[in-house]
Structure 1
Amino acid sequence: MKSEHHLTILFEQPFWIALFERIENDQYCVARSIISTSEPEGAEITDFLNNFDFDQLQYTGLVSNNQATKEKKSFKKRQKQTQKNMTNSRIKHVYSKAQILLKEQLENVKKERKAVSKQDKITAEQRKFDIRQQKKKDRHKGH
């Protein structure tokens, strides 16, 4: 079982972020954690990594890693593909595979949260309706 781990520290305004990348058996996944808003120095990064709970990392789903199967493309084709990607709204400001996966994970969490909140809203409306119906019955019995 071949396993690689990479740590990249990058700046995504306004935060400095630690990007944890993992490649296992040609499967790629990524997780991130916020370090701070000010630029971290060597000692701060060391403290962050020493005190960090690696079990709390939420990695994205596994994606096949096709680094080995890169095909040669001419400069013009790569340039056209880059322009096309820049106009694609989904990955307009995303610069790496890791950031694309993180963005997809964020979108999935957002969809789940919306579904849960919608279900809560429906449940609350049903409860209010049941209370109104019960009050109607109680008033009717009173007369």
Structure 2
Amino acid sequence: MQISVSSTLTVYHDGQFWVGLAERVESGRYGVARIVFGAEPSDEEILQFIVSEWEKLTFFGDEPTETSKPARNPKRRAREASKVLRQPAMSTKAQQVLADQREAMKRESVRARSQRRADETEARFERRKLKRRQKHRGH
């Protein structure tokens, strides 16, 4: 069994912060993670991040994707690499996955908030019920 993994880290300035976009294709599954660096990271800081923090990243999106076989021809690989470098910093696929991630986090937050509110309401009701019971007993 062979597992192929391809990862790309793109660092760009989004107008306010320096952001890293980590894209990973593992066994035909595409995932993306967004890292906010804040100030412009140096090459050493990026390398340190990759060495120490890369395995901790949670990649969002796990839809199958088509992967191209790596070419054995070095000239072709160089052409493909220069083609990738000419592309914009963020792919539309990565943008879509990040948007889906934000929506999922928003839905989870709404669900948690409504659950918390329901729990608080239930707790208030239980406290009132206990208070009424104690008054009724004559305490």
How high is the TM-score relative to the length of structure 2?
0.70
List per-residue Cα deviations over 1:40-61 (Å, max 9, x = no partner).
Answer: 34344334434x3223201012
Deviation at 1:27, TM superposition (A): 1.9
Deviation at 1:114, TM superposition (A): 1.7
In structure 1, the partner of 2:80 is none
Structure 2: tracts of 5 or more residues without a match: 69-89
Greater relative contact order, per chain length (Cα 8 Å cut-off, separation 6+): 2
1:32 and 2:34 matched: yes
Conserved 8 A contact 1:20-1:30: yes
List per-residue Cα deviations over 1:98-119 (Å, max 9, x = no partner).
Answer: 1210121121122112211211
Deviation at 1:95, TM superposition (A): 5.5
State how far apart, in whole Å, the 1-side matches of 2:33 and 2:60 are: 6
- Which of 97, 108, 130 is the aligned partner of 2:104? 108
State how far apart, in whole Å, the 2-side matches of 1:67 and 1:111 are: 31
In structure 1, the partner of 2:115 is 119
Structure 1: tracts of 5 or more residues without a match: 69-93
Matches within 5 A, 1:1-143: 1-36=3-38, 38-50=39-51, 52-66=52-66, 96-142=92-138
The aligned amino acid for 2:47 is: T
Deviation at 1:132, TM superposition (A): 0.7
Q: Provide the aligned length of Structure 1 versus Structure 2.
A: 116
Moved over 6 A (4+): none
Deviation at 1:66, TM superposition (A): 4.1
Report percent identity of matched pairs: 29
Question: Is the alpha carbon distance of 1:32 and 1:47 closer, same or farther for their aligned partners in structure 2, counting shifts above 3 Å?
Answer: same
State how far apart, in whole Å, the 2-side matches of 1:128 and 1:2 are: 55
Q: CA RMSD in A?
A: 2.3
State how far apart, in whole Å, the 2-side matches of 1:54 and 1:100 are: 22
In structure 1, the partner of 2:77 is none
How high is the TM-score relative to the length of structure 1?
0.69
The aligned amino acid for 2:127 is: I
